[in-house]
Structure 1
Amino acid sequence: MPVAQTAQKKWPLSQVIKWLAIGLLACLTGYLIVLMYAQGEYLFAVLALLLSSTGLYIYGNRRAYSWRYVYPGLAGMSLFVLFPLICTIAIAFTNYSSTNQLTFERAQSVLMEREYEGGKALNFALYPAGDRWQLTLTSSDNSEVLVSPPFAFNASSPQTLTMLPQAAPAGDKAGLRVITQNRLALGQLMAKLPDGEMLRMSSLHQFSGTQSLYQLNKENQQLTNAQTGVVYRPNKETGFYQAINAQGEWQAEKLSPGFTVGIGWKNFLRVLHDEGIQKPFLSIFVWTIVFALLTVVLTVAVGMVLACVVQWEDLKGKAVYRILLILPYAVPAFISILIFKGLFNQSFGEINLMLNALFGIKPSWFSDPWTAKGMIILVNTWLGYPYMMILCMGLLKAIPDDLYEASAMDGATPMQNFFCITLPLMIKPLTPLMIASFAFNFNNFVLIQLLTNGGPDMLGTTTPAGHTDLLVSYTYRIAFEGGGGQDFGLAAAIATLIFLLVGMLAIVNLKASRMKFD
């Protein structure tokens, strides 16, 4: 009996392998989480901890068996959708930019590492000592000569050489070529003088003393410039160490790099109240909606008409026409866009050459706002109609032939068949796809970036903006092309507004389609 009980307590090999794998995975994820936390990625570390612990519980507990099939999708959505969205919204409430990227502690550390040359300056020379070298420091009047013990060049790690007063080594000193070739290694050297002063290479001929440029007062976190005596205090509103006068009032001088601070709703208020941002934002918002709507209408119209044509029974060579009409969908979009960019070239493009030969006009496709917008709509219609045509071809197959036979008996014309039978029966299943197409074109960054880059530019704006910019490309230009610095906080605020606008428009469209087709 004891032997049987012992045999029953033994785990099968599959269970041992399972728990061993779970244990190894737990150790690995724990190590990665600690690394992320140590590097300051607190939010990502917390998310990774939650996802990994939840996953280990689900796959290690039989009572949570049903969640094993749902968890990968939920984890992926949390990691790739919710987390970036939360980070974007969080950045929108900060001054995060190219000048304010660091934490306060890191920015203070960078400033404290700055040094200036001060104290003693001695001429240096290098003398060979077998396969090694000796450093010699001499004063300008040759009254002081200091020599280091033999050392080897090492550009990857710092070295401290203890300098001793003695005669210079015999032999020829190294030339300027050797010094130049080993400049990185010489920059790692610290020469310690007999009085304890530390010198480092300051030029190709001298070693000089260096001192910290700023002195830190740990009580109030103030920095004092050791050369000028100017006092700097961290400004929690602007995210910079800023100079103050004797009365403690802020001065204009700021130290870079700055640090990231929370600024509340200021980025959103800038969009609403700053005319240099408000006017281009509203103009671009209206153009974005018009562009998305026109694209959906034109692509559906062209695709539906062509689908009806290629499905016409009396049409010969239907297979060839279908292949030719679907080709734009098969070619990568960025290649088609770049080809169109060349075709619409004002001076050498084939389109302007033909228009000039036929009508004597050469439109300014890239410099005039209206022609640029028309060009974008034409190109996007060309890129989008094959998808709609394929959908309509499938939907046409689902329409019963009896309806057309009955309409033929009543003497209906082809146009009446289209508007009374074909269109009503196709528009309902197309509605969700049209809404998805609207959302996609609302954020069609690739087309704008490759074709016009948002141009022609608007004048009198405080942020880079163009007449053909969509909200997404406008946000990109603020984030990465701002003349006064990359303003990621403002870009995140606009991205948050885009998310809310697209969400509201999608809800309105869905409700409208339900009311129409229920």
Structure 2
Amino acid sequence: MPAANPPAELPTPVMSKTLSFPRMPTALRWGIWSLCNAFALYLVIALYAQGQTAFALFGLVVCAIASFVFVSRRAYAHRYIFPSVAGMLIFVIFPLLYTVGIGFTNFSGTNLLSFEQAQRYHLRQTYLAGERYGFSLHRDGDGQLRMRVDKGAQGVWVSAPLEGEPLEAEPLGMAPLAEAGDIGEALPLREVIKLRGGLEQWVMRSRQGELLRLFGLREVAAVQPLYRLQEDGSLLNSQTGERLTADHDIGYYVDGQGQRVSPGFTVYAGWSNFARVLTDPQIRSPFLQIFVWTVCFAALTVLFTLTVGLVLASLLQWEMVRGKAFYRVMLILPYAVPGFISILVFKGLFNQNFGEINLMLDALFGIRPDWFSNPTLARSMILVVNTWLGYPYMLLLCMGLLQAIPRDLYEASAMDGATPLDNLLKITLPLLIKPLAPLLIATFAFNFNNFVLITLLTRGGPDILGTTTPAGTTDLLVSYTYRIAFQDSGQNFALAAAIATLIFIVVGAMAWLNLKLSRVKV
């Protein structure tokens, strides 16, 4: 028998060469980590020194988490995703929590300050207790600022150099001009204006014991503090002897008659803002009206855009239509034009006096609808414009989903004598609605907060009369909140924050529903 062939030698595996990157030296890595933490700690301290306790605490928490993630071996895998998580914490979670927190206060245009800031404001108030004298500001040969005060018959006096920190308990001394020496040329008024903030902090004492402070841009005067802080925390008016007491329930100092003295300060208000939305008739009525309109607007927009997009997509699938590419481009073109441009164009078209739409209606039927004055017409106009802006998106979705439906289904239905309406209701819609459901919910949520459309087209008008907050018949909740926060005479930020919290709850519920519907089972 022939000898068996020896087994062939297996080829020697070639070891693949992997690229290796040099590791950063340990000392350098720890040095960079220390510098980053030192800089972050400096920012935290600076925020705390400015009275921004919430921002400082949040920054400290983020920095602590970052240090743990980048130092701990157990959290090694998390360091690559931490930047995105930190961005979410900084730009989403913290603003949300801060807004919710404002909703539990009385923060508004009249209650912007903290209690300490309001108290300092009152203690800085002064009243004229003597004569006024002209002054000029000079810079001497040593570069130091000095004030020259002309007291008329009492002569001309010059203050000591304005250096260091101004202390009210240690007023600057004043000497006659003859004893002051060369004080240099007087600075122009524009320089005095630049230095006014610092000059107001200085107090000068004449040799007669008179205290002088800045009084305008050209004069100093013998002024005294209007209020003095008492041991019980009240403020005593030096002129009238009246006492101001801090009322922490309303956030104001009040006098003996209970009258509020501005400015107010921020205090915890509990659930009062949320209760006002639901119980105050002048707020509840427009809020409920706007809430219902917001839901109807978002729902009708989804319905109209889906209907138009589905009909057009179905027509473009029809084999008898020629030039489909041209029609697709023309129908999707509104999606390529920036939305704010289209809105402003429609605003001009619907102009009640000079708009092309009213000119055509007047020529054909002799009518000129009040699109911006009549609530029903204004809402109809908004729906028309938003349908025009939104149908291309639905058209694209429906075109893609229709192509995924097997043609055999329609052929079988044709053999059974089904009508186009039967095909739509029993084949097309059932197969489209499931993949479209999450996108329809997302579209509903987007239009629920469609601030740009309302602001550019109607600005919320026509207004709802008899309300304590600015509200319009075409306002959505988001534009209503904006008007309360920034267009109301009181700028009620706390009430706006409470409404924004309610909006977040509604939109958050829709987002949760979207996630449930779009969950993919493996």
TM > 0.5: yes
- Work out which of the residue numbers 502, 511, 515 in structure 2 matches 1:497: 502
Pair 1:359-2:370 in alignment: no
Asked whether the 8 Å contact 1:93–1:264 carries over to 2, the reply is yes
Pair 1:64-2:75 in alignment: yes
Q: What code does the residue aligned with 2:42 have?
A: Y
Asked whether the 8 Å contact 1:127–1:169 carries over to 2, the reply is no
Q: Distance in 1 between matches of 2:335 and 2:33?
A: 45
- Work out which of the residue numbers 414, 418, 429 in structure 1 matches 2:420: 414
Equivalent in the alignment of 2:85: 74
CA spacing shift, 1:129–1:260, aligned 2, 3 Å: closer
* 1:17-61 superposed Cα distances (whole Å, 9 cap, x missing partner): 333322222222222222222222222222222222222222222
Equivalent in the alignment of 2:207: 194
Q: Distance in 1 between matches of 2:138 and 2:48?
A: 48
Deviation at 1:168, TM superposition (A): 11
Equivalent runs, 1:453-464 vs 2, <5 Å:
453-464=459-470
Q: Structure 1, unaligned stretches of length 5 or more?
A: 1-10, 245-250
Asked whether the 8 Å contact 1:22–1:60 carries over to 2, the reply is no
Q: Distance in 1 between matches of 2:79 and 2:217?
A: 66
CA spacing shift, 1:211–1:392, aligned 2, 3 Å: same
Equivalent runs, 1:298-447 vs 2, <5 Å:
298-447=304-453
Equivalent in the alignment of 1:8: none
Deviation at 1:114, TM superposition (A): 1.7
Q: What code does the residue aligned with 2:237 have?
A: N
Pair 1:37-2:53 in alignment: no
Equivalent in the alignment of 1:235: 247
Deviation at 1:196, TM superposition (A): 4.2
CA spacing shift, 1:196–1:95, aligned 2, 3 Å: same
Equivalent in the alignment of 2:285: 279
Q: What code does the residue aligned with 1:220 have?
A: D
Q: Distance in 1 between matches of 2:195 and 2:91?
A: 47
Deviation at 1:75, TM superposition (A): 2.6
CA spacing shift, 1:259–1:181, aligned 2, 3 Å: closer
Equivalent in the alignment of 1:488: 493
Equivalent in the alignment of 1:184: 193
Q: Distance in 1 between matches of 2:217 and 2:68?
A: 63
Asked whether the 8 Å contact 1:146–1:163 carries over to 2, the reply is no
CA spacing shift, 1:507–1:151, aligned 2, 3 Å: closer
* 1:388-424 superposed Cα distances (whole Å, 9 cap, x missing partner): 1111111112111222222233333333322222221
Q: Distance in 2 between matches of 1:237 and 1:19?
A: 51
Q: Distance in 1 between matches of 2:306 and 2:158?
A: 82
Deviation at 1:381, TM superposition (A): 0.6
Equivalent in the alignment of 1:475: 481
Q: What code does the residue aligned with 2:156 have?
A: L
Equivalent in the alignment of 2:158: 148
Deviation at 1:426, TM superposition (A): 0.9
CA spacing shift, 1:501–1:196, aligned 2, 3 Å: same
Q: Distance in 2 between matches of 1:437 and 1:240?
A: 45
Q: Distance in 1 between matches of 2:470 and 2:229?
A: 39
Asked whether the 8 Å contact 2:442–2:514 carries over to 1, the reply is no
Asked whether the 8 Å contact 2:160–2:173 carries over to 1, the reply is no
Asked whether the 8 Å contact 1:129–1:150 carries over to 2, the reply is no
Q: Distance in 2 between matches of 1:355 and 1:390?
A: 33
Equivalent runs, 1:123-162 vs 2, <5 Å:
123-124=134-135, 137-139=149-151, 142=153, 144-148=154-158, 162=173
- 2:488 match: secondary structure: coil
Q: Distance in 1 between matches of 2:136 and 2:114?
A: 42
Q: Distance in 2 between matches of 1:387 and 1:481?
A: 33
Asked whether the 8 Å contact 2:137–2:192 carries over to 1, the reply is no
Q: Which stretch of the first structure deviates more once superposed, 497-506 or 390-399?
A: 497-506
Q: Which stretch of the first structure deviates more once superposed, 426-435 or 411-420?
A: 411-420
CA spacing shift, 1:17–1:58, aligned 2, 3 Å: same
Q: What code does the residue aligned with 2:464 have?
A: M
Q: Which stretch of the first structure deviates more once superposed, 184-193 or 301-310?
A: 184-193
Pair 1:102-2:102 in alignment: no
TM-score computed with the length of structure 1 as normaliser = 0.85
* 1:449-497 superposed Cα distances (whole Å, 9 cap, x missing partner): 11111100011111111000111111111111112x1111111111112
CA spacing shift, 1:406–1:136, aligned 2, 3 Å: closer
CA spacing shift, 1:393–1:16, aligned 2, 3 Å: farther
Q: What code does the residue aligned with 1:398 have?
A: A
CA spacing shift, 1:510–1:163, aligned 2, 3 Å: closer
Asked whether the 8 Å contact 1:145–1:167 carries over to 2, the reply is no
Deviation at 1:12, TM superposition (A): 6.0
- 1:33 match: secondary structure: helix
Deviation at 1:138, TM superposition (A): 4.6
